[in-house]
Amino acid sequence: MNNEFSELVKQEWTVDDTAKAWRKWHNKLVPHLASLTKVLLEAAAIQPGAKVLDIASGSGEPALTISEMLGPTGKVTATDLSTGMLKIAEDNANKANKNNLEFKQADVHELPFEDSSYDVVTCRLGVMYFWDCQRALREIGRVLKPGGVASFVAWGDVSQNGLVRSIIGPFANRKELPTPPPSAPHPFRFAKEGSLTAELKSAGFSQVNEQTHIVPCPWPGPPEELLNQVYEIAIPFQPFFNSFDNQDRQQVEQEVIANLNTFYDGINTDPSICIVAAKAVR
């Protein structure tokens, strides 16, 4: 199944439309997902001068934030499957006058870096899409220095996720979401407590610390805009959204907007989200 899973992930995340959506929404996604970045980097405990590898960097976060922590002697390598995504990340770095970043197209299952190259590896919302999780995690362990830290954030329990319940819930109440095969890459793959820990330990990591967090995710705009952004960015859910006819979809979207309006203060739409954070040592 790994070949099928790899093709699925590549189709979803490397097409031009995906990169265009991330470029369009980047400036608002930064504050929207800032709490995830904070949790990720607090666990990573990055020190000035460190050499950091960021996996699945997308349009530039958290690599851009990491660069601010490293000082002139540190360096972060931003990687992604998609060259289109990395071009956006590089453009954003240039706009911010960042000069301690480098950009490399890379597949986490076969990293193009030497053994023991990095002090820290970070991955925000990417580990769920590793189609061969053990192979990918072992690659991360290989490029980490002895005693190096890997830090991950993944989506947590849907029942505790106000954003997902508000948006996906009305759709799922009318039509059952497809059930992914066991070990398939999907957004909530590690929502079950301890599941990411088990993968990390099996891959040879030690001192694994997994925690669940309920954090804010303020979208700087109205509910209608947040819904539009989620549709364009949440690539794995698009086939499910598109399976509704126009009339049903309009009714569902009205319900979604009503749900999100309860979190709208006239400036931000701010439902809470549930995430899983895991830190591990090579």
Whether residue 13 lies inside any domain: the answer is yes
Whether residue 21 lies inside any domain: the answer is yes
Whether residue 79 lies inside any domain: the answer is yes
Whether residue 105 lies inside any domain: the answer is yes
Whether residue 232 lies inside any domain: the answer is no
**Mean pLDDT over residues 245-258, rounded?**
96
Residue 18: predicted pLDDT: 92
Q: For residue 44, give the amino acid letter.
A: A
Cα dist from 219 to 116, 199, 260, whole Å: 38, 32, 11
Residue 104: predicted pLDDT: 97
**Mean pLDDT over residues 34-38, rounded?**
98
Question: For residue 97, is it left (φ>0), alpha (ψ between -120 and 50) or beta?
Answer: left
Q: pLDDT (tens digit, 9 = 90+) per residue, 194-206?
A: 999 999 999 999 9
Q: How far apart are CA 267 and CA 78, in angstroms?
A: 32
Q: Is 120 helix (H, G, I), strand (E, B) or coil?
A: strand
The residue ranking higher by pLDDT, 72 or 203, is 203
- Whether the predicted pLDDT of 92 surpasses 80: yes
Whether residue 6 lies inside any domain: the answer is yes
Q: pLDDT (tens digit, 9 = 90+) per residue, 8-32?
A: 888 889 889 999 999 999 999 999 9
Pairing of strands 118-124, 51-55: parallel
In sequence order, the β-bridge partners of residue 153 are 124, 277
CATH of the domain at 69: 3.40.50.150
Q: How far apart are CA 87 and CA 19, in angstroms?
A: 9
Q: How far apart are CA 36 and CA 44, in angstroms?
A: 12
Q: How confident is the model at residue 236 (pLDDT cuts 50, 70, 90)?
A: confident
Phi first, then psi: what are they for 157, rounded to 5°? -55, 120
Q: For residue 238, give the amino acid letter.
A: Q
Whether residue 71 lies inside any domain: the answer is yes
- Whether the predicted pLDDT of 1 surpasses 70: no
Whether residue 168 lies inside any domain: the answer is no
Q: Peptide bond preceding 62: is omega within 30 degrees of 0, i.e. cis?
A: yes
Q: How far apart are CA 167 and CA 171, in angstroms?
A: 8
Q: pLDDT (tens digit, 9 = 90+) per residue, 153-181?
A: 999 999 999 999 999 999 999 999 888 88
Residues spanned by the domain of 192: 2-159+185-217+273-281
Number of domains in the chain: 1
Q: How confident is the model at residue 148 (pLDDT cuts 50, 70, 90)?
A: very high
